[in-house]
């Protein structure tokens, strides 16, 4: 599976950097920012704060679902 377009985040449980996020869902925060929530493919939950351009690009590419 090509993970080049996946959102990359830090996994707190395994302490790994730039882990591709699977099943990502992007939602808006109360202050208008964007947050992606998903897992690392092994069941460990992950989240990442994103800028508007990166969030909308991930939705457009089909690597994340929109929740707003």
Q: Does residue 12 lie in a domain region?
A: yes
**pTM score, whole prediction:** 0.86
Which pLDDT score, from 0 to 100, does residue 28 have?
97
Q: Does residue 3 lie in a domain region?
A: no
Domain that holds residue 17: 8-66
pLDDT above 90 coverage of the chain, percent: 79
Q: Does residue 62 lie in a domain region?
A: yes
Q: Does residue 33 lie in a domain region?
A: yes
Q: Is the pLDDT of residue 54 over 90?
A: yes
Which pLDDT score, from 0 to 100, does residue 47 have?
93
Please enumerate in sequence order all residues whose Cβ is within 8 A of that of 1, keeping only pairs 6 or more positions apart, or say none. none
Instruction: Count up the domains in the chain and report the number.
Output: 1
Burial of 17 (0-12, 13-18, 19+ CB in 10 A): exposed
């Amino acid at each position: 599976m090509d993970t080049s377009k996946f959102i990359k985040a830090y996994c707190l449980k395994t302490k790994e950097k730039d882990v591709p996020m699977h099943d990502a869902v992007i939602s808006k925060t109360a202050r208008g920012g964007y947050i992606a929530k998903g897992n690392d493919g092994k069941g460990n939950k992950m989240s990442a704060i994103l800028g508007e351009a990166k969030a909308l690009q991930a939705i457009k590419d089909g690597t994340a679902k929109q929740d707003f």
